[in-house]
Structure 1
Amino acid sequence: MRGWARVARSALPVALILGAVACTGDLGGDEDTGGTNPSGNTDTTVQQGRYSGLPEPCGAVRPETLAELLPDAEPEVYAGDPLATYDTGRRVGCDWRHADGSDTQRLTIDFLRVISYEPEVSDDDQAERDFETRAAEAGVTITGEESGDDGGDAADGGDEDGNADQDDPSATGGTTTDARELDGIGHVAFVEDRLTSDDAGDRRDVTLAFRNANVIVTVVYSVSTTRPDPAPDSSQAQAHAETVARQLAEGLDG
């Protein structure tokens, strides 16, 4: 019996050592773990997006700008209505609308924070892909980040990039669209100017979208009228949309 006790005592340290090895895994080995370390984390860390949150949208546009875009509106109009979203950490927006007799002005802004769910794709890269897709749907080819070409003057309705540019439809009825890339707003931007005319009147919708890192911002300024006067001015509507977009871009960087 004393002999068996000595064997048991001598085997105990060995069992403890083997148990420790089993708990910690292969010490010093080069076994392929499929791109993960023993704790389960991936070896490759993809850079997260620059922005981890979004601003309060209804306070993102300056009061004097709202007064210019929506003249003579009631104070509650300038307060704006938040857009309903499922996750305010991912998407927020605000809407302002003012009707004055035969004329109606409306401003809508939307912030979308892009998150990549592909391990090898960063949030910023995914946002770049999504933005280029949106631009393509509007008929705009994005030439590159922070392009030196300003895409032409917003007032001339020009088409230096070969994007859609049709005759004014207000005389015959129908819809025309002018879309092009813009410079100087965010990392990259484009504008789409759509004029719709029918027997009920004329409506101009200017959509300006830009991207800053992993956030895509969309500004829509709409002006409609039932008067027989000329259609809402393109240069003025685009200038208003650009003013709002620049303020939102500055707010993101602030």
Structure 2
Amino acid sequence: MQRTMAARWAGLILTAVCGLTACSGNGGGQDTTGAGPPGGSAGSAQPGRYSGLPEPCGAVGADILRELLPGAEAEVYAGEPMVTYDTGRRVGCEWNSTAETATQRLTVDYQRVVSYDPDVSDDDQAALDFDERASEAGIPSAVPPPTDPLAPRPLDGIGQAAFIDDRQTASEPGERREITLAFRNANVIVTVTYAVSTTLPEPPLDSEQLQQRTRDVAQRLAQGLDG
């Protein structure tokens, strides 16, 4: 009789406990109903494709540097690394050539984007940052008509998204042009800036040629990321 009463009380206590917590029939093991995938939660976004950045001063080939900086001293082609606080997140390099009648400057800048939002991946955050940069630069969402092929515009064929911005600054008697080409590949944003100035009134700087040289650099850098 005492055993029967004890068993009955034990059953009542177990029923009460199961009413407050999730009981399972797996031999007392932890209930895993509704648990996320092993090693992470459903709200954890994926890390970016790139976990590091290339050495920037070696990213541009000597043949392209000689074309962009003609007649420069040999040490110029080595480049000057950009000073940054975290080379895992941002690196860059600059090349400068100064002559009597003209100067050329080339800079490349790599930025690896990391998202701090667990619901936004690094790649998606980089896409948002890149679109914001394009908007701030006044880049149209569509390619302009063929009548103005050198205008600021988005570009195809370089990374996953790209744009080019060509600006002229008049200086008497010569002129100065600065071309900026930015592109994104996964979670890395790369910016190439090529600036040329001359003190000569003639001939005018060839914008189409300068843009093509800048595109050559950007395409080389994009291939380097994939390689």
The answer, yes or no, to whether TM exceeds 0.5 is: yes
> Structure 1 pair 111/29, CA: closer, same or farther in 2 (3 Å)?
closer
Residues in 1 aligned to 2:197 and 2:166: alpha-carbon distance in whole angstroms: 13
Secondary structure in 1 aligned to 2:211?
A: helix
CA drift of 1:42 comes to 4.2
Whether 1:81 aligns to 2:80 is yes
Q: Deviations over 1:66-122 (max 9, x none)?
A: 001001111110000000111000000000000111100110000000000011000
Secondary structure in 2 aligned to 1:209?
A: strand
* Alignment gaps of 5+ in structure 2: 1-28
What is aligned with 1:214? 187
Secondary structure in 1 aligned to 2:152?
A: strand
> Structure 1 pair 29/101, CA: closer, same or farther in 2 (3 Å)?
closer
**Which residue identity is paired with 2:162?**
A
Instruction: For 1:118-157, list aligned pairs within 5 A.
Output: 118-142=117-141, 157=148
> Structure 1 pair 27/100, CA: closer, same or farther in 2 (3 Å)?
same
Whether 1:253 aligns to 2:226 is yes
Whether 1:28 aligns to 2:31 is yes
What is aligned with 1:180? 153
What is aligned with 1:163? none
Residues in 2 aligned to 1:183 and 1:43: alpha-carbon distance in whole angstroms: 34
How many residues in Structure 1 have an aligned counterpart in Structure 2? 198
CA drift of 1:27 comes to 3.4
Question: Given that residues 95 and 109 in structure 1 are in contact (C-alpha distance below 8 angstroms), is that contact kept between their aligned partners in structure 2?
Answer: yes
> Structure 1 pair 152/79, CA: closer, same or farther in 2 (3 Å)?
farther
Whether 1:63 aligns to 2:62 is yes
Q: Deviations over 1:198-254 (max 9, x none)?
A: 326310000000000000000000100111113311001101000000000000000
Whether 1:158 aligns to 2:170 is no
Residues in 1 aligned to 2:141 and 2:126: alpha-carbon distance in whole angstroms: 13
Residues in 2 aligned to 1:197 and 1:205: alpha-carbon distance in whole angstroms: 11
Residues in 1 aligned to 2:141 and 2:129: alpha-carbon distance in whole angstroms: 12
Residues in 1 aligned to 2:30 and 2:106: alpha-carbon distance in whole angstroms: 62
Whether 1:193 aligns to 2:170 is no
Question: Alignment identity in percent?
Answer: 55
What is aligned with 1:15? none
Q: Deviations over 1:144-188 (max 9, x none)?
A: xxxxx7x667xx6437xxxxxxxxxxxxxxxxxx31011111111
CA drift of 1:29 comes to 7.8
> Structure 1 pair 228/59, CA: closer, same or farther in 2 (3 Å)?
same
Whether 1:111 aligns to 2:110 is yes
CA drift of 1:44 comes to 2.7
Secondary structure in 2 aligned to 1:87?
A: coil
Q: What TM-score comes out, normalization by structure 2 length?
A: 0.80
**Which residue identity is paired with 1:27?**
Q
**What RMSD, in angstroms, separates the aligned Cα atoms of the two structures?**
2.3
Question: Given that residues 203 and 231 in structure 1 are in contact (C-alpha distance below 8 angstroms), is that contact kept between their aligned partners in structure 2?
Answer: no
What is aligned with 1:225? 198
Residues in 2 aligned to 1:105 and 1:29: alpha-carbon distance in whole angstroms: 64
Q: What TM-score comes out, normalization by structure 1 length?
A: 0.72
* Alignment gaps of 5+ in structure 1: 1-25, 144-148, 160-177
> Structure 1 pair 198/29, CA: closer, same or farther in 2 (3 Å)?
closer
Residues in 2 aligned to 1:241 and 1:140: alpha-carbon distance in whole angstroms: 17
Q: Deviations over 1:107-140 (max 9, x none)?
A: 0000000000011000000000000000011111
